[in-house]
Amino acid sequence: MTMKRLITLLTLLCVSAAVFAQGRVTTRKYLFSDFTDKITKVVMSGGEVLDSALRQEVVDRWTASPFEFCTFAEYESLKKSDAYYFLLVTAGQAKGEEEPMVRFLTLEKGGADSGDNVARRTEVISLPLCPVENSFGRELVFLPALVQGVQDFALKAMDSEKVAYAGMSWFNENYDRKGHIKRIFLAREDLSSSVSEKDLEKYLDEDIILCDEDEADKVYTDKTYNTLVSYSVSAGTWSYKMLFQADTDTIYYIRKHKVNARNAAGFLSEDLRRMSKGR
Residue among 166, 53, 64, 30 at smallest CA distance from 105: 53
Domains of the chain, CATH where assigned: 31-159 (3.40.50), 169-276 (no CATH)
pLDDT tier, 227 (very low <50, low <70, confident <90, very high otherwise): very high
pLDDT tier, 137 (very low <50, low <70, confident <90, very high otherwise): confident
pLDDT tier, 16 (very low <50, low <70, confident <90, very high otherwise): very low
Residue 54: is its pLDDT beyond 50? yes
Higher pLDDT, 90 or 22: 90
In Å, how far are 131, 189, 260 from 90, measured between CA atoms? 11, 24, 25
- Other beta carbons less than 10 A from residue 115's beta carbon: 9
Q: Which helix (H) or strand (E) holds 267?
A: none
Q: How far apart are CA 253 and CA 223, in angstroms?
A: 18
Residue 90: is its pLDDT beyond 50? yes
pTM of the model: 0.88
